[in-house]
C-alpha cells in the first residue's frame, strides 16, 4: 500500500516538536506541514532536515525494474543542470542554469507550461561564475517561488502566475559575487548565500523578509563579531566560547576582508531548536602561504538562530585549508542512536573526505571518519581538538613558491562536492554520491584585484591510485563511521540521491544513467540512459494516485566543465578538464527533465 497521505517524516523530527514549532511561527508554519505530505516535494532537499527521503512506496525494489518514461521536457538551455524540481499539488516548478529560467508545469497535462520566467541578466556575470553557470533550484513559501539568480538578484514570483512580486540585489558581480545556491524559506524569512571564493569575496548568509524582500539580518563568515554575529561568550566551538573577534584574530592584518568562506551550498533547519545549519567554503587565496593562520571561519559548520542570526555554535573542519576543501555540503538532521545514546544528530560529508556526526544542539563532535578509502591528506581527526592531523607529504604549505605537491587525495572537488546524500530511516543508512579522485597541487603567488580570479594554484586531477574509476556510490553507517557497501562508477557521481520507503535508492551518473539500487544491498535494480549527463538531484512525487520519479539531466558543473564550457587544456576548469576528458565518448550537452512511472 502507498504510504502517501500526510505522513509525518519521522526522520525529521517528532510530530509533537513540529506542531509546537508550527504554533510558534507566522507566515510559514505551512511548510512544516507541507513537508510531511509525501505526495509533494516542497523543498530542494525534500524537507528541512535535508534527508532526501520519501515515504512513497508504490515504486519499490520488486517492481522498479518496470519503470518507463512518462514524459520529458526540455529547458532549452545547455550547461550544467544541478538541483531539481519542486512539486506542489498539480504544479511542478523547474529551473535552468544561466539565464536561470523558471517554468511552472501542469502535471495534469504532461508538463504543459503554465508560466515561464526568464530574467534578463548581463552576460558579464558568466566569466565570474566558478565551475559552470549552474543553479541549484528554487524555493517555495507563502504562495511565492523564490529564485536566486546568477547576478545575485533574489526574486519572489507569484506561484500561480509567475508575476514578479519583489526583487533585491544580494551582491555585486563586478567584485566576483555571484549566486548558485537554492534559497531556503523558514517562517517569515528567506535565506540566501553567496558564491565567489575564487574571487576573494567575503562569504555571508542573508535573511530577507519573505513578504517584501527587506533585509532582516546578514552574517559574514569572517570579520568582527558585529559582522559574523558570534557572541564571544555564548557562541561555542567544541564546547568552548569562541572569544572576542574570533573571525579576525586568525588572519594576517585585514586579509579577512577578502577571506572567502562563501556560502553556496545547502541549508537545513531544526524547528524545535530554531536553528539553521550550513557550511562555509574555502579561504581566499588557494595559496596557503599568503594567508597564515587558521583563517576562521572559513571551512566551518554554523548553527544559527533563524530569527536573529546569532550563532549558537560553530565547528571548523579544515583549519588553514591548503586544498580547497569547501565545507558547504548539506547538513542532514536525524534523531538516532549514536554511540549508544539517542542524539539530535547532524551528519555531514565534507569535501575533505571525512564524514562527521555531531550533536546539532550542542556542536559536540561524535564521529569523524574517512568515507573514501583513498583519503590520505590527513591520518585522522583529533576528537578533542577537532583538528585533522595533516600528513606533511601532502601539505601544499611550502615556503618556496611553485612547489608541486603530488598524489593528494581527495582532489579539490572533494570526496563529495555539493551533490546531496540521502538518509533512510528504514535502513538507518546514508546514501552518498562520491568522487574517487586525487590531484597534484602547485600554489603560486597571486595578488587581489576586485572582480578578477584570486586562485593562486594550478591543479591536475586523476583517479585514485590503483583505481580505474572516478566515483563510488556508497551506503554509510554514521554511528560506526563505516562504509556498508560501495558501488564503483566510471565517473564521479555528481547527482543528488533519493531514498524511499520502497527500499530503493536512486541516483544519476555523469554518462546520463538514472540508476536504482537496493537500499540494503546496493544491488543494481534498474538503469535508463537520459539525453545528457546527470548532475541534477532525483526526487519523487505522487499525482492522481501514481508515483513518479523525476530528474534533470544536463552535463556540466565542475566535473563536466570541460564539455560545458568548451575547455580542452587538461589543467583548465581548476584541474578537472583532464580527469573527465573521456566523458565526451558517452554523452553530450543538453537540458532535459525526464519523468518516470510504472506501467498502468
| DSSP string of 27-73, one letter each residue | TTHHHHHHTT-TT-B-STTSSTT---EE---SS-TTTGGG-EEEEEE
In a domain, 456, yes or no: yes
Residue 377 contacts residue 391 (beta carbons within 8 Å): yes
Residue 91 contacts residue 107 (beta carbons within 8 Å): yes
In a domain, 358, yes or no: yes
Q: How far is residue 36 CA from its own chain's centroid? A: 22
Rounded distance between C-alpha atoms, residue 521 and residue 499, angstroms: 13
In this structure, what CATH number is given to the domain that contains residue 58? 2.140.10.10
Q: How far is residue 15 CA from its own chain's centroid? A: 26
| pLDDT, position 400 | 67
| pLDDT, position 8 | 36
Q: CB under 8 Å to 539, separation ≥6 — which residues?
A: 41, 46, 52, 54, 84, 85, 87, 498, 549, 550, 551
**Residue showing cell 535508463:** 528
Rounded distance between C-alpha atoms, residue 395 and residue 409, angstroms: 11
Rounded distance between C-alpha atoms, residue 133 and residue 292, angstroms: 32
Number of domains present in the structure of the chain: 1
Assess whether 324 carries a catalytic annotation.
Answer: yes
In a domain, 101, yes or no: yes
In a domain, 174, yes or no: yes
Among 155, 366, 132, residue whose Cα is nearest residue 264:
132
Q: CB under 8 Å to 449, separation ≥6 — which residues?
A: none
pTM of the model: 0.95
Q: Can you say whether residue 142 is alpha, beta or left, with left for phi > 0 and alpha for psi between -120 and 50 degrees?
A: left
| H or E element that contains 432 | strand 429-435
Q: What is the CA radius of gyration of the chain?
A: 22
Phi, psi angles (nearest 5°) of residue 82: -85, 175
User: What count of residues does the chain have?
Assistant: 600
Domain that holds residue 208: 15-117+134-597
In a domain, 126, yes or no: no
In a domain, 5, yes or no: no
Long-range pairs of 226-229 with CB within 8 A, sequence gap ≥ 24:
228/297, 228/311, 229/304, 229/308, 229/309, 229/310, 229/311
Q: Could you tell me the sign of the dihedral formed by the alpha carbons of 574, 438, 180, 328, in that order?
A: negative
265: its cell numbers: 551550498
Among 270, 133, 267, 118, residue whose Cα is nearest residue 207:
267
Rounded distance between C-alpha atoms, residue 586 and residue 483, angstroms: 29
Rounded distance between C-alpha atoms, residue 373 and residue 353, angstroms: 9
Q: Which of 40, 151, 324, 372 is catalytic?
A: 324
Residue 169 contacts residue 179 (beta carbons within 8 Å): no
Angle at 522 between CA 511 and CA 472, to 5 degrees: 45
How are beta strands 429-435 and 471-477 bridged, if at all? antiparallel
In a domain, 437, yes or no: yes
Q: How far, CA to CA in Å, does 540 sit from each of 327, 475, 535, 577?
A: 28, 20, 16, 32
In a domain, 221, yes or no: yes
Q: Note down pLDDT in tens along the chain; length 600 residues.
A: 444 433 333 334 433 333 333 333 344 689 999 999 999 999 999 999 999 999 999 999 999 999 999 999 999 999 999 999 999 999 999 999 999 999 999 999 999 999 999 999 999 999 999 999 999 999 999 999 999 999 999 999 999 999 999 999 999 999 999 999 999 999 999 999 999 999 999 999 999 999 999 999 999 999 999 999 999 999 999 999 999 999 999 999 999 999 999 999 999 999 999 999 999 999 999 999 999 999 999 999 999 999 999 999 999 999 999 999 999 999 999 999 999 999 999 999 999 999 999 999 999 999 999 999 999 999 999 999 999 999 999 999 987 667 999 999 999 999 999 999 999 999 999 999 999 999 999 999 999 999 999 999 999 999 999 999 999 999 999 999 999 999 999 999 999 999 999 999 999 999 999 999 999 999 999 999 999 999 999 999 999 999 999 999 999 999 999 999 999 999 899 999 999 999 999 999 999 999 999 999
Among 552, 551, 583, 553, residue whose Cα is nearest residue 567:
583
Amino acid at each position: 500500500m502507498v504510504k502517501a497521505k500526510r505522513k509525518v517524516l519521522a526522520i525529521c523530527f517528532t510530530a509533537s516538536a513540529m506542531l509546537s514549532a508550527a504554533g510558534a511561527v507566522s507566515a510559514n508554519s505551512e511548510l512544516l506541514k507541507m513537508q510531511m505530505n509525501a505526495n509533494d516535494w516542497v523543498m530542494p532537499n525534500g524537507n528541512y532536515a535535508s534527508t532526501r527521503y520519501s515515504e512513497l512506496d508504490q515504486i519499490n525494489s520488486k517492481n522498479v525494474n518496470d519503470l518507463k518514461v512518462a514524459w520529458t521536457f526540455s529547458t532549452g538551455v545547455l550547461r550544467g543542470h544541478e538541483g531539481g524540481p519542486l512539486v506542489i499539488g498539480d504544479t511542478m516548478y523547474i529551473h535552468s542554469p544561466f539565464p536561470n529560467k523558471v517554468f511552472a508545469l501542469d502535471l495534469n497535462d504532461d508538463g504543459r507550461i503554465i508560466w515561464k520566467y526568464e530574467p534578463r541578466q548581463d552576460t558579464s556575470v558568466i566569466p565570474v561564475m566558478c565551475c559552470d553557470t549552474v543553479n541549484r533550484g528554487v524555493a517555495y513559501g507563502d504562495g511565492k517561488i523564490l529564485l536566486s539568480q546568477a547576478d545575485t538578484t533574489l526574486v519572489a514570483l507569484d506561484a500561480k502566475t509567475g508575476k514578479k512580486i519583489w526583487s533585491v540585489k544580494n551582491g555585486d558581480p563586478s567584485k566576483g559575487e555571484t549566486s548558485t545556491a537554492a534559497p531556503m524559506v523558514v517562517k517569515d524569512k528567506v535565506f540566501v548565500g553567496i558564491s565567489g571564493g575564487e574571487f576573494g569575496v567575503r562569504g555571508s548568509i542573508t535573511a530577507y523578509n519573505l513578504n517584501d524582500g527587506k533585509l532582516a539580518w546578514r552574517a559574514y563568515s569572517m570579520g568582527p563579531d558585529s559582522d559574523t554575529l558570534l557572541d564571544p561568550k555564548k557562541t561555542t566551538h567544541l564546547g568552548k566560547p569562541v572569544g572576542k573577534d574570533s573571525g579576525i584574530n586568525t588572519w594576517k592584518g585585514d586579509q579577512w576582508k577578502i577571506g572567502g568562506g562563501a556560502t553556496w551550498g545547502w541549508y537545513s533547519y531544526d524547528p524545535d531548536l530554531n536553528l539553521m545549519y550550513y557550511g562555509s567554503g574555502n579561504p581566499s587565496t588557494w595559496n596557503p602561504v599568503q594567508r597564515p593562520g587558521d583563517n576562521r571561519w572559513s571551512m566551518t559548520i554554523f548553527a544559527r538562530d533563524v530569527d536573529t542570526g546569532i550563532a549558537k555554535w560553530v565547528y571548523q573542519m579544515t583549519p588553514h585549508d591548503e586544498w580547497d576543501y569547501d565545507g558547504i555540503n548539506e547538513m542532514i538532521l536525524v534523531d538516532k542512536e549514536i554511540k549508544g545514546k539517542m542524539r539530535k544528530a547532524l551528519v555531514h560529508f565534507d569535501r575533505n573526505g571525512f564524514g562527521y556526526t555531531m550533536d546539532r544542539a550542542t556542536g559536540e563532535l561524535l564521529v569523524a571518519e574517512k568515507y573514501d578509502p583513498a583519503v590520505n591528506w590527513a591520518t585522522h581527526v583529533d576528537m578533542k581538538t577537532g583538528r585533522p592531523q595533516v600528513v606533511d607529504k601532502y601539505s601544499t604549505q611550502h615556503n618556496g613558491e611553485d612547489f608541486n605537491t603530488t598524489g593528494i587525495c581527495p582532489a579539490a572537488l572533494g570526496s563529495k562536492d555539493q551533490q546531496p546524500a540521502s538518509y533512510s530511516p528504514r535502513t538507518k543508512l546514508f546514501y552518498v554520491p562520491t568522487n574517487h579522485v586525487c590531484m597534484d597541487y602547485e600554489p603560486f603567488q597571486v595578488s587581489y584585484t576586485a572582480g578578477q580570479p584570486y586562485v593562486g594554484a594550478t591543479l591536475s586531477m586523476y583517479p585514485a591510485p590503483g583505481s580505474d574509476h572516478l566515483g563510488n556510490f556508497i551506503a554509510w553507517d554514521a554511528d560506526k563511521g563505516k562504509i556498508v557497501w560501495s558501488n564503483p562508477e566510471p565517473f564521479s557521481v555528481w547527482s543528488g540521491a533519493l531514498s524511499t520507503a520502497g527500499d530503493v535508492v536512486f541516483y544519476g551518473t555523469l554518462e546520463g544513467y538514472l540508476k536504482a539500487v537496493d537500499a540494503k544491498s546496493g544491488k543494481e535494480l534498474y538503469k535508463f540512459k537520459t539525453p545528457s549527463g546527470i548532475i541534477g538531484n532525483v526526487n519523487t512525487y505522487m499525482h492522481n494516485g501514481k508515483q513518479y520519479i523525476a530528474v534533470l539531466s544536463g552535463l556540466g558543473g565542475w566535473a563536466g566543465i570541460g564539455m560545458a564550457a568548451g575547455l580542452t587544456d587538461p589543467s583548465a576548469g581548476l584541474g578537472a578538464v583532464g580527469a573527465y576528458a573521456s566523458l565526451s565518448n558517452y554523452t553530450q550537452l543538453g537540458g532535459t527533465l525526464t519523468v518516470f512511472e510504472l506501467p498502468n
